[in-house]
């Protein structure tokens, strides 16, 4: 379980095809982050497993299967690509953002990006048709692992306003028109939908 509050940016420094997928090596600014093999880390919002790490924790590897690559934008990463990183929540940790599973539901597309105030950016993002029913004004969404508030919803697109703090500490500063972003809808919306479907069918 994650919160969508990105802890740090990492950088892809090596990509190696192995078996039925790809192994990525990520460089981070973490020092002694208490990582161990088998830990879960959200990479651009996709929950992945640490398969190897350096003594200082500033380098780690993870493996993505072809299925994971098909369903996420990890397949679009190259050497030097920035990635949003968040470790799984620890018991007793303060909870910010919103409830994030790290299960990517699809890929959204950046439609427009515009600066509306000093260092404040407006984005309109196109949501896949099969996910559009989950979005409401002032609701939550996770894009590339970032917990964000939906400002407006129009014709299947959502409006986002990103503050300087978010732009500085995440890969949102690299987002551009037509870029694909991992999207995870609010899990509470899915639970409610399932409950209502079960209730109506009973």
Per-residue tokens: 140: 């939550």
Q: What is the pLDDT of residue 26?
A: 96
Asked if 44 and 104 touch (Cβ cutoff 8 Å), the reply is no
In which residue are the tokens 């079960």 written?
A: 198
Is 56 inside a domain boundary? yes
**36: closest CA among 22, 21, 53, 48?**
53
Whether residue 166 is predicted with pLDDT greater than 90 in this model: the reply is yes
Specify whether 115 is located in the same domain as 187. Answer: yes
Is 200 inside a domain boundary? no
Degrees, nearest 5: CA angle 19-12-127 = 90
Handedness of CA 75, 109, 145, 3 (dihedral sign): negative
Mean pLDDT, residues 144-167: 96
Domain that holds residue 151: 106-195
Is 157 inside a domain boundary? yes
Is 93 inside a domain boundary? no
Q: Please tell me the pTM assigned to this model.
A: 0.92
Domain count, the chain: 2
Name, in order, each residue with C-beta under 8 angstroms of 202's C-beta and a sequence gap of 6 or more.
Answer: none
Residues 13-40 have pLDDT tens digits of 999 999 899 999 999 987 666 778 999 9
């Amino acid at each position: 379980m994650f919160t969508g509050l990105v802890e740090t940016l990492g950088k892809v420094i090596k990509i190696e095809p192995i078996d039925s997928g790809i192994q990525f090596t990520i460089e981070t600014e973490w020092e002694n982050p208490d990582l161990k093999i088998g830990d879960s880390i959200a990479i651009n919002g996709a929950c992945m497993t640490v398969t190897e790490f350096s003594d200082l924790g500033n380098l780690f590897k993870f493996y993505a299967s072809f299925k994971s690559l098909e369903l996420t934008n990890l397949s679009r990463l190259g050497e030097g690509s920035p990635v949003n990183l968040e470790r799984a929540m620890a018991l007793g940790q303060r909870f910010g953002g919103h409830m994030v599973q790290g299960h990517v539901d699809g890929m959204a597309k950046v439609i427009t990006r515009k600066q509306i105030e000093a260092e404040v950016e407006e984005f309109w993002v196109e949501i896949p048709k099969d996910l559009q029913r989950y979005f409401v004004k002032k609701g939550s969404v996770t894009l590339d692992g970032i917990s964000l508030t939906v400002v407006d919803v129009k014709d299947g697109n959502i409006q986002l306003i990103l503050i300087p703090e978010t732009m500085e500490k995440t890969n949102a500063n690299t987002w551009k028109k037509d870029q694909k972003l991992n999207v995870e809808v609010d899990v509470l919306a899915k639970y409610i939908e399932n409950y209502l479907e079960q209730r109506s069918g009973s």
